[in-house]
Structure 1
C-alpha cells in the first residue's frame, strides 16, 4: 500500500514504476497513510519523486559506468533557454548488464537492457504564470527474473474442502510424461518417485528451465502542470497527466525441464488523471491552506496464460476503474512555535472487471476429479459477465507540532488510510454452479474484496545540538479488514480475513564534527502481529510473523572529505546495514525464509576543484553475502522458488558536468 508519485502524478500500476528517472531534484519517502494530499492507495506511505525543472542556465552532465557482469550505465542531461520565456531540459540513459543466473539453453536471467528518456519544457509567459510540460519513456527488453528452484514439497498442500482433493492430485501426479495412480489424501504414492526430485536443485546461479523467459515493457507518459498566481497569496495549480503501459512477461515457474508451471503474463494499461489545487494564506499568514479535487481513470486488460502439470488455461480479463476525490488541508499557527495541521479527504472508487478466462487443455481428464465436465476444454473459468463494485471513504489527518526553540521540535500525528477493494483476477478451478460454488448469481461468483483500513498514530522529536542531529519517532498502526490470500479454492483469492497491529520506533543520528567528517546511524524496531485472522481459510496462524517484515533494521555510514592543495577533493565512504530474519510469505514457510544478514558497501569519489570532473569507484556487498530477495511456495505446483541477490558488485564511474 505504498503509492508512487512522479511530479505529483500517481503511477497506478507497479509495473509502471519501472521508469528509471535519471534527473531528479529530490525523493521523499513518507511513512504512514498519506491519504489527505496524496490520496489513492497510500495506506502504507508514499514515494514522491520530484524531477528537476528546466531553467535559464546552460548546463549539462554526463556519466559512464562499467562494472561487474559487464554492467554499463550511460547517463546524460542538458539544460538551456530556447527563448527568454521557454526553457528545456532533456535527459537520457541506457542500462545494460549480463544476468547472474544461467539457464542450460544459454539465457542469462536477471540481466538489464533498458533505454530511458525524458524531455521537460517550462514556459513562463509572465511572472505569475508557469506551464511545465514533460514527456518520459522507458523501453525494456530483458530476459526475466533470476528465479531458481530451492526445493520440492513432495505432497504438502493447502486448500479447503472440496478443493483439497484437486490440490492433492496436483501434488502427486507424475509430470515427466507417464501418468501414475494418485492418492487423494495428500500423501504421494509410495510405489513411484515424485514428479521431480533433488537432482533439479542445482544452486543459486543456475536454472534448468526450458520454457520461454523474457520481460518486455514499454512505458511512457506526458504531463502538464499549470500554475497561476492569482494575487492575494492565492495560487491555482492544475496537474494533467496521461500514462501508458504495455508489457509482456514469460517465465518457467519451477526452474526444471519438467512442465510444472510455465507462465505468460500480458498487461496493458492506460491512465488519465486531472487534479486541481487552490493554495493560499489567511489570517496574516498564520494559516496556510490547500483545497483540491482529483479525478482518475484507468482501463486495460490483464491476460495470464498458464501451462502446468494438469491443464493449460487463460485467466485475467478487462478492467475499468474510476476515482473521484475532494480534499482540504491547513496548517494554523496557534501560538509562536505551535502549529496545528488538519486535513480531510473524501474518495469514491468505481471498479469494473470483465473476465476473459478459459480452459484450453486438460492433460489428466482420466483422473478424478479432473474427469468432471467443468474441466473440459472450452469451459469458462469465471462467468463472462461484468462485475462492478463501488467504494467510498473519508480519511482525516491531524498533526500537532511544537517548536520551543529553532533546534527542537516535538510532534504527534494521527491519520487514517485505506487501500481500495477490487477483484481477484487469477482463479482456478472453474467457478461453475452448482459444482464448485453454491452461488447461483454469475456476477457474485467473481471473487471480490473490500477496502483495507488503518488508523495510524505517530509521535516524535527532532532536535539539533551542535554538530549532532537526532530524529526519534514511535508509531502504532491499527489495521482492519486486511486483504490477504485465502485458500477456499486451489488458487488463492483475496478476502478481508484479518485485523492486525504494527507498532515500533525509528531513530536517526547524524554527526558533522567538522574537518570533512560525517557519520550517520539509524535503528528501527517493527513489531507486527495479527489481532484476529480466519485460520480455517487462510491457513495462517495468528502467531505467524508478517510477510517480509524484519523486527530489527540497523544502518551506519562514515565518510571523510579530504581536500588537496589544488582544490580537488577525495571522499571515501563506508556503509553498513543489518536486517534481522524475515519470512517471504504469510505462511512462514521455512524453506523460503531468510535469516538475518549484514551488508557492507564502500566507495571513494574524486572531484576536481571546479567540480566538473568526478571519478567514483564503488564496491557493493564487500563480503559477498548471499540472501533471498524474494521467495514463493506454489503448493499447487509443489515447488519452492526464490530470487537470490547478485553478490559482490564493483563499478567505476566517470562523470563530467558543466
Structure 2
C-alpha cells in the first residue's frame, strides 16, 4: 500500500489512549501520560503529503482534536488566542449575521461578508473550500486535526489564500475498527447548555460509519428594551461519514454535514454619534455622505409630535437644545452598558449543508490518484437596528443564498529522491444577496445575483538534493470569471414632495431629487463580467543542520480575486456623475484583485532530547492593490487603495520542563505600513495603522497532571494570552480602537481510572477583562457601533466514553 493512500485519513502521531469526541488520557499503567502525548510530533498534510510537523519547512501551527480540547476550544474563533499572527473574529460587519468569520493572517484578510467580496484567508474542511464567510464560525466537533498555514498558499490551495489557510480535518470512520462513542453535557454562565455526542460503527472489515452531533444554547448579554437579548447562541451541527474500502487499493469516503443557527444577532451597542463631517474630521476636502442623523433631527423629528429638535451643529458635539424631546436622535442612546434601545427587527438565521465524496486509488506502490467532489449550500437571513434607537436612522436586513460545487483531482507520486503532486481544480458558485435598508431618507434594496467560476492547474515537487538539502518548487495557473447582476431599486422616498415645503435654495430639497423617487433603479439591471488569469509560483529550500534542527527559506506569491461594489446609492453612483454617453455596463462599479509576494526564513528545532521544541519564522510581505473597506457612500464599499509592506516574526514553543508538566507558548511581532495610498478618494492616510492587526500577540499555557492512585488522574491547566491595541476600521477611529488586553483561563479535569468518565470545571477570562471585539463606523448615519466581549465565563462538563 502506497504512502499516499491514507493521506486523507489524516493519521495523527498524537494518539490518546481512548477515542471519541474529546478523547482523554487513561490512568492505566500502560497508557502514556498526557504530557508525553502532547510532546509527540503531529503529522500534517499542509504540503499535500503526510509528514511530521518538524519535517515540514513551512510556517504552520497544527493541533489535534485532543490538544484543542485541552485548551478548552469548542468554536473556531477561539484559536486566535494562541496561534501567532492570527485574528479570527465572529464579525457582524455591516450586516448583522452572528456567524460570520473575519480572518486575518500576518496582517492580510477581509472582514466583509458580501458574496461579491472574497476572503483573504482560505477555510477548508476535509479538503473542501468554504467560499463564504457567513456560516464559517464552525463548532469544533469531532475534529481530528486543525492546521493554520501562514503566508500565501497560492500553489496547492490557490486563490484567496494570500494571507494563509485554515484546514480542518474531521475524524474518519475506520473499517475494521472498534465500536465506540462518547457523550458530553456542559452547563455554564448565561444559561449555557452544550451537548455533544459521537458514535463510530464498523459495519464490517470494509465499511464503517461515524456520526457526530452538537447543540449549544446560551442567553445573550446585551438586552434590548423590547426584551430581545442580543449575542445569544442557538446552534445545532451534525456530520455523518461513511467509509467504504472494497479492496486494499481503493477507498471512498462520503460525508454529509449541516449547521443550523437561530439567533437574535450580534451583541452590538451604540458607542457614539458623530455629528462632524468625516471630511472635516480628517482634514481633507471631500463631498461628505448625507448626514442621516442630522437630517432626522432637523426634519423628520421636527414634524413629529412633542417638542421639536433644534438644528444640530454638524461641527459640534451633537447636543440638541431640547434633549427632553422624544423625537431627537442624540447621545441619550449612547453609553448604557450592555443595553440597546433598537426596535427594528433583529435576528440571524443561517442554514448550511454540505455533501462531499473523497475517492483514493493506488495505481501502484509509487503512484496514487485522488478525487474530492463537494457541494455546499448556504441560506442566511439576518437583520439589525443600526441606530440602536426607536427612530428610523439606519435599519438593515439581508437575505443571502449561495450554492457551490468544487471538484479537485490529484495525481501523487514518488520517484527516486522526489515526491510530487499534480492537480486540477474547478470551482463554481451562484446565488443571490438582497440587502434592504430603511433609513431617514429612503427605503431601498441593494444587492443582486452573482455567478462565479474558476479553474486551476497546479504542480509541486520536492527533490532531496542530498540527505540534508531539499528543494521544493511549485506553481499554479488560475483562470477565473465573475459575474454580477445588480438588482437595486428605491422602494420609497420619505421626502417626496419635500422640495415644495422648503425655501428655494435649501440644500435639503436635494432629498426630493428625481433619481431618489420610488421605482428608480440605482444601477442598470445588466450582468457585468470580470475575468482574471494568474500564475502563482513558489520556491522553498530547506537544510537539516542535524536530525533535530532544520532551516528553511521560501518565496511565494498569491492573489485575491477582484469583485463588485454591491452597496451603491446615489449620488455617489457613477450613473449620476459619469459623462453622458457612458456605456451602461461601465456604470456598475468593480475593483481589481490584490497581490502579495512574500520572502520567509524559518527554523524548527527539537532540543534537550525532545523536551523542548522551538519553531520560528521571519517574513516580509509586499502588498499591492490592497482591497480595503471604505465609507464614501451610504454604506461601506471595497476599493483598491494602494500598496503596503508587512514584516514580522513568529515563534512557537512547547516543552516538558519536568515530569508531568507541559508548557507551550507563542509570540508574534508584526509591523504593517502603508507605502502609497489614494488618500484623496479614501480619506485613509499612509500614517494610519492596519485594521485588526495587533503589533504583538503572545500566549502561554502551563499544565500539570497528577495521578490519584485508584481514583484516576487530575489535570490542571492555566492559559494566558495577550493582544496589543488595534483599530477596527481603516480610518483608525478612536472610538473603534480596541485597547491592549490580557486573558486568563484555567481548568481542572478529572478522569477516572478506566478512562471512560471525565469531569471538567473551567473558567475563561477570569479577570473579567472587557474589550471591544469589533466595531463599525457608519459615516452616513453618523453612528459608531461595536460589540464587546461577553465577560467572565464558568463551565462544568461531564463526559462518558463507551
Q: TM-score range by the shorter chain?
A: over 0.9
Say yes or no: does 1:339 pair with 2:459: no
For residue 167 of structure 1, the aligned residue among 277, 285, 290 is 290
Say yes or no: does 1:436 pair with 2:577: yes
Once residues 318 and 226 of structure 2 are traced to their aligned partners in structure 1, the CA distance between those partners, rounded to angstroms, is 33
Q: 2:267 corresponds to which residue?
A: 146
1:464–1:191: structure 2 CA closer, same or farther, 3 Å change rule?
Answer: closer
Q: 1:137 corresponds to which residue?
A: 258
For residue 93 of structure 1, the aligned residue among 203, 214, 224 is 214
Q: Summarize the alignment of residues 201-220 of structure 1 with structure 2, pairs less than 5 Å apart.
A: 201-220=334-353
For residue 596 of structure 2, the aligned residue among 454, 460, 466 is 454
Assess if the C-alpha contact under 8 Å between 1:182 and 1:188 holds in 2.
no
For residue 301 of structure 2, the aligned residue among 177, 192, 197 is 177
Once residues 627 and 190 of structure 1 are traced to their aligned partners in structure 2, the CA distance between those partners, rounded to angstroms, is 27
Assess if the C-alpha contact under 8 Å between 1:452 and 1:480 holds in 2.
yes
Q: Summarize the alignment of residues 504-515 of structure 1 with structure 2, pairs less than 5 Å apart.
A: 504-515=648-659
Q: 1:368 corresponds to which residue?
A: 509
Q: Which runs of 5+ in 1 are unaligned?
A: none
Say yes or no: does 1:538 pair with 2:682: yes
Q: 1:328 corresponds to which residue?
A: 459
Say yes or no: does 1:551 pair with 2:695: yes
TM-score normalised by structure 2 residue count = 0.79
Residue 199 of structure 1 deviates from its aligned partner by 1.4
Residue 201 of structure 1 deviates from its aligned partner by 1.6
Residue 632 of structure 1 deviates from its aligned partner by 0.9
Once residues 238 and 321 of structure 2 are traced to their aligned partners in structure 1, the CA distance between those partners, rounded to angstroms, is 56
Q: Summarize the alignment of residues 1-20 of structure 1 with structure 2, pairs less than 5 Å apart.
A: 1-20=120-139
Say yes or no: does 1:80 pair with 2:201: yes
Say yes or no: does 1:407 pair with 2:548: yes
1:193–1:158: structure 2 CA closer, same or farther, 3 Å change rule?
Answer: farther
Residue 364 of structure 1 deviates from its aligned partner by 2.6
Residue 87 of structure 1 deviates from its aligned partner by 0.6
Once residues 692 and 230 of structure 2 are traced to their aligned partners in structure 1, the CA distance between those partners, rounded to angstroms, is 23
Once residues 265 and 169 of structure 1 are traced to their aligned partners in structure 2, the CA distance between those partners, rounded to angstroms, is 21
SS in 1 for 2:656: strand
Once residues 550 and 654 of structure 1 are traced to their aligned partners in structure 2, the CA distance between those partners, rounded to angstroms, is 37
Say yes or no: does 1:42 pair with 2:166: no
1:276–1:579: structure 2 CA closer, same or farther, 3 Å change rule?
Answer: same
Once residues 318 and 731 of structure 2 are traced to their aligned partners in structure 1, the CA distance between those partners, rounded to angstroms, is 26
Assess if the C-alpha contact under 8 Å between 1:305 and 1:313 holds in 2.
yes
For residue 227 of structure 1, the aligned residue among 356, 360, 363 is 360
Q: Which runs of 5+ in 2 are unaligned?
A: 1-119, 304-308, 499-507
Assess if the C-alpha contact under 8 Å between 2:312 and 2:319 holds in 1.
no
Say yes or no: does 1:571 pair with 2:738: no
Residue 437 of structure 1 deviates from its aligned partner by 2.9
SS in 2 for 1:75: strand
Once residues 13 and 168 of structure 1 are traced to their aligned partners in structure 2, the CA distance between those partners, rounded to angstroms, is 32
Structure with the higher strand share, 1 or 2:
1
**How far does the alpha carbon of each residue in 1:396-423 deviate from its partner, in whole angstroms, 9 at most, with x for none?**
1111111121110111111101000110
Assess if the C-alpha contact under 8 Å between 1:169 and 1:182 holds in 2.
no
Once residues 493 and 258 of structure 1 are traced to their aligned partners in structure 2, the CA distance between those partners, rounded to angstroms, is 25
Q: Which has the higher contact order (CA 8 A, sep 6+)?
A: 2
SS in 2 for 1:15: coil
Once residues 433 and 5 of structure 1 are traced to their aligned partners in structure 2, the CA distance between those partners, rounded to angstroms, is 37
Assess if the C-alpha contact under 8 Å between 1:381 and 1:430 holds in 2.
no
Once residues 574 and 728 of structure 2 are traced to their aligned partners in structure 1, the CA distance between those partners, rounded to angstroms, is 35
Q: Summarize the alignment of residues 91-130 of structure 1 with structure 2, pairs less than 5 Å apart.
A: 91-130=212-251
Once residues 550 and 246 of structure 2 are traced to their aligned partners in structure 1, the CA distance between those partners, rounded to angstroms, is 41
Q: 1:245 corresponds to which residue?
A: 378
Once residues 309 and 624 of structure 1 are traced to their aligned partners in structure 2, the CA distance between those partners, rounded to angstroms, is 38
Once residues 242 and 189 of structure 1 are traced to their aligned partners in structure 2, the CA distance between those partners, rounded to angstroms, is 51
Residue 610 of structure 1 deviates from its aligned partner by 2.2
**How far does the alpha carbon of each residue in 1:67-122 deviate from its partner, in whole angstroms, 9 at most, with x for none?**
00010110000001123311100000111100011111111111111111110000
Once residues 709 and 630 of structure 2 are traced to their aligned partners in structure 1, the CA distance between those partners, rounded to angstroms, is 67
Residue 163 of structure 1 deviates from its aligned partner by 8.0
Q: 2:8 corresponds to which residue?
A: none
1:523–1:190: structure 2 CA closer, same or farther, 3 Å change rule?
Answer: closer
1:97–1:305: structure 2 CA closer, same or farther, 3 Å change rule?
Answer: same
Once residues 622 and 574 of structure 2 are traced to their aligned partners in structure 1, the CA distance between those partners, rounded to angstroms, is 38
- Cα RMSD between the aligned structures? 2.1
1:434–1:418: structure 2 CA closer, same or farther, 3 Å change rule?
Answer: closer
For residue 404 of structure 2, the aligned residue among 256, 271, 289 is 271
Residue 262 of structure 1 deviates from its aligned partner by 0.6
Q: Summarize the alignment of residues 618-657 of structure 1 with structure 2, pairs less than 5 Å apart.
A: 618-657=762-801
**How far does the alpha carbon of each residue in 1:100-147 deviate from its partner, in whole angstroms, 9 at most, with x for none?**
111111111111111111100000000000000000001111111100
Once residues 428 and 163 of structure 1 are traced to their aligned partners in structure 2, the CA distance between those partners, rounded to angstroms, is 17
1:380–1:78: structure 2 CA closer, same or farther, 3 Å change rule?
Answer: same
TM-score normalised by structure 1 residue count = 0.96
**How far does the alpha carbon of each residue in 1:439-462 deviate from its partner, in whole angstroms, 9 at most, with x for none?**
721111111011100001111111
For residue 447 of structure 2, the aligned residue among 299, 313, 316 is 316
1:455–1:171: structure 2 CA closer, same or farther, 3 Å change rule?
Answer: farther
Residue 216 of structure 1 deviates from its aligned partner by 0.4
Assess if the C-alpha contact under 8 Å between 2:289 and 2:632 holds in 1.
no
